[in-house]
Amino acid sequence: MPGAQRSVVINAPVEKCFEVIVDYERYSEFLPEVKKTRATNRRGAECDVQYEAEVVKLIKYTVHLKEERPNKVTWTYIDGDFMRDNKGGWLLEDLGDGKTKATYTIEIVLGPLVPKTIVNALVDTQLPKLLENFKKRIESRP
């Protein structure tokens, strides 16, 4: 399963980072590739989130998320376009002085007709942009 892991240091406390990460329905406000999200089936610290994202073309998929406040969010794949599997998560580490190390991990299996170049683009281009957009969003919030 192709996967990737990247980290970024954010100038904000863990709790503030966590709140932005779990505010799934606002992702389209700061992630240009995310066109629409909808959280459903909320059960305590778990929910399903349906995504519509523009990655070469519009794709739709749903993942099940588990939140472990204040420092961990993981997801597993339910269903969607072009994917066979998608799992990953966020791990937030308090670095002190109001700083947080945010580590994003993803493992994804795309369908057999999806070119390898698309997988590489997702990992090499989209992942760093995603982390930078989360960092900017978190640091700009009061």
Ordered alpha helix ranges (H), 57-124: 116-121
Q: List the one residue out of 99, 108, 101 whose CA is nearest residue 127.
A: 108
CA 63/CA 99 separation, integer angstroms: 29
Segment 66-103, tens digit of pLDDT? 999 999 999 999 999 878 899 999 999 999 999 999 99
Which whole-number Å values give the CA distances from 114 to 66, 102, 109, in the listed order? Answer: 28, 29, 10
CA triple 78-81-103, angle to 5 deg: 60
In a 10 Å sphere around its CB, with 0-12 CB exposed, 13-18 middle and 19+ buried, how is residue 113 labelled?
A: exposed
The CATH superfamily of 3-140 is START domain (3.30.530.20)
CA 13/CA 44 separation, integer angstroms: 23
Per-residue pLDDT of the chain in tens (142 residues, 90 and over written 9):
457 899 999 999 999 999 999 999 999 999 999 999 999 999 999 999 999 998 777 889 999 999 999 999 999 999 998 788 999 999 999 999 999 999 999 988 877 776 777 666 666 778 889 999 999 999 998 8
CA 113/CA 108 separation, integer angstroms: 14
Domain boundaries, the chain: 3-140
SS3 16: helix
Residue 1: predicted pLDDT? 46
Residue 121: predicted pLDDT? 67
